[in-house]
Structure 1
Amino acid sequence: MVESVKRAVRIIKELTGASPRLGVTELADRVGVSKSAMHGLLRTLESDGLVVQDQESGKYRLGPALVTFGNAYLDTHELRTRALTWSNLLATRTDEAVWVGVLVHDDVLVIHHVCRPGNVAQPLETGATLPWNTTALGKAIVAFSPEELRTSLLSRPPAALTGHSVTEPEVLEAQLAQAREVGYAVEKQEATLGDAGIAAPIFDRTGCAAGAIGLVGPVERLLDERHRQGCSIATRETARSLSRELGAHRFGNRIASF
């Protein structure tokens, strides 16, 4: 691997973390290079808009070019493109917010978000990343992923976002088994207090879980027994339709199983 590229990526990751503004000395220490080398790396990144320097503090933060790159990734993602219409239909059918997500390492990246129909103010979550084990999306994807991937993810310490986040591997394994049995996964206040999620896997033309589509809403409404039943059916049917659009009709038996 090219060391300078690795260092540039490390700088961006450090600025993406808990400290969105860092000075040259702090970055040099974290990346493991001299201050002079860090100055050169930052000047190069700044020239292309990947980082910008705050004029008052002299510290660096992420630059506007990353927004362009991020939007380009989302705009060219096949699953997101095909999910646009189906997500709107699912939101209308259930009267709930809809998320579409993909697995990126240990996290779920929300690649599309349809707000709940109505005039209620809702923050747009497209681009958000959450630990896989704290979301219904993540559990739906992992449940239907190859056993090697499940084993690998469960072998690493799961993250916790709330006091309800499930971090015990044996409990997560049981949840994943349940998701495979019923065809959808559930999350209850594990990512955000007061919210719940229901999600089903989306398969691609290779038969692998390419992502998941799901609903997010207040726990008392989404998991109300009658509403939950209708929501889970609608979510599975939408995931099945999306899977067929991605070419998964060749794996009809597997799709029909959920």
Structure 2
Amino acid sequence: MVESVKRAVRILQELTGASPRLGVTDLAARLGISKSAVHGLLRTLESDGLVVQDAESGKYRLGPALVIFGNAYLDTHELRTRAVTWSNLLAARTGEAVWVGVLVHDEVMVVHHAFRPESVVQALETGATLPWSASALGKAVVAFSSEELQQRLLSTPPAALTGRTITEPAALAAQLARAREVGYALESQEATLGDAGIAAPVFDRTGAVAGAIGVIGPVERLLDDERRQSYAIATRETARNLSRELGALRADGRRAPF
């Protein structure tokens, strides 16, 4: 592992966190290295547009080149590319917003967001990240991942985003078991008060979980007894169709349908 590259990545991670603007002294303290070393790394990152320095405060923040890298990642992500049409169809079928997410370490990144099909102001959430345990997308992915991954994630105390976020490992394990049983995962006001989610896993040609697709909306609408079942069916069917398009195999080794 190249230490200078690792340190440069750490700088970018620190600037991505709760303090989006940091000075040389701050970064040196956080990384545990000299200010001269941090300064040299920042100059290199700045020359390629990965960080920029505020003229007034002298502190650094993330640079515009990262947007290019991020867009390139999304544009070349097979799940996102394949999911665009299916997400729009699911949004039209349910009348709700649809997210497609992938697991990145212990978080879920939204790689595609299909707006709710009505003329209201909606914020684009593509690129947003959430703790896996506080989202239906994350629970759907983890529930169908390896037991080793599940145990690792359950062994680390998850972040609580609201007073309703489930953080007890036993309760989360029970939710994962339930998701495997019914084929989809639920989330109720765990990430944002008032919102809920229903998501199902998407598999790739190797049989591994590629990500998840789910509907997001107000809890009183999404988890209404009558609507929840129809939304869950629509979400599972869409996930299966998307899995087929990714080349997923059935349990008997043949190509989908499942």
TM bucket, shorter chain: over 0.9
Question: Residues 29-44 of structure 1: matches in 2 within 5 Å?
Answer: 29-44=29-44
- Cα distance in 2 for partners of 1:248, 1:209 equals 10
SS where residue 240 of structure 2 aligns? helix
User: Runs of at least 4 residues of structure 1 off by over 6 A?
Assistant: 252-258
The answer to whether 1:72 aligns with 2:72 is: yes
- Cα distance in 2 for partners of 1:172, 1:250 equals 27
SS where residue 73 of structure 2 aligns? helix
Is the contact made by 2:109 and 2:127 (CA closer than 8 Å) also made in structure 1?
A: yes
Count matched residues.
258
- Cα distance in 2 for partners of 1:12, 1:158 equals 23
Question: Residues 143-162 of structure 1: matches in 2 within 5 Å?
Answer: 143-162=143-162
Offset at residue 225 of structure 1 (A): 1.1
Which residue does 1:207 correspond to in 2?
207
Is the contact made by 2:248 and 2:256 (CA closer than 8 Å) also made in structure 1?
A: no
Could you report, residue by residue, the CA deviation over 1:109-153 in whole angstroms, capped at 9, with x for unpaired residues? 100001101111111100001000000000000111111111111
The answer to whether 1:46 aligns with 2:46 is: yes
Could you report, residue by residue, the CA deviation over 1:164-221 in whole angstroms, capped at 9, with x for unpaired residues? 0000000001101110111000000000000000000001111111100000000001
The answer to whether 1:175 aligns with 2:158 is: no
Which residue does 1:112 correspond to in 2?
112
TM-score norm. by structure 1 comes to 0.97
Compared with structure 1, are the counterparts of its residues 25 and 127 closer, same or farther at alpha carbon in structure 2 (3 Å cutoff)? same
Which residue does 2:190 correspond to in 1?
190
SS where residue 207 of structure 1 aligns? coil
TM-score norm. by structure 2 comes to 0.97
Q: CA RMSD in A?
A: 1.6
What amino acid is the match of 2:98?
V
Could you report, residue by residue, the CA deviation over 1:9-49 in whole angstroms, capped at 9, with x for unpaired residues? 00000000000000111111111221111111111000000
Which residue does 1:14 correspond to in 2?
14
Which residue does 2:59 correspond to in 1?
59
Is the contact made by 1:101 and 1:137 (CA closer than 8 Å) also made in structure 2?
A: yes
What amino acid is the match of 2:67?
V
- Cα distance in 2 for partners of 1:98, 1:130 equals 15
Unpaired segments ≥5 residues, structure 2:
none
Which residue does 1:85 correspond to in 2?
85
Unpaired segments ≥5 residues, structure 1:
none
What amino acid is the match of 2:40?
G
Offset at residue 249 of structure 1 (A): 3.3
- Cα distance in 2 for partners of 1:231, 1:182 equals 13
Compared with structure 1, are the counterparts of its residues 96 and 82 closer, same or farther at alpha carbon in structure 2 (3 Å cutoff)? same
- Cα distance in 2 for partners of 1:62, 1:51 equals 4
What amino acid is the match of 1:185?
A
Task: Give % identity.
Answer: 78
What amino acid is the match of 1:155?
S
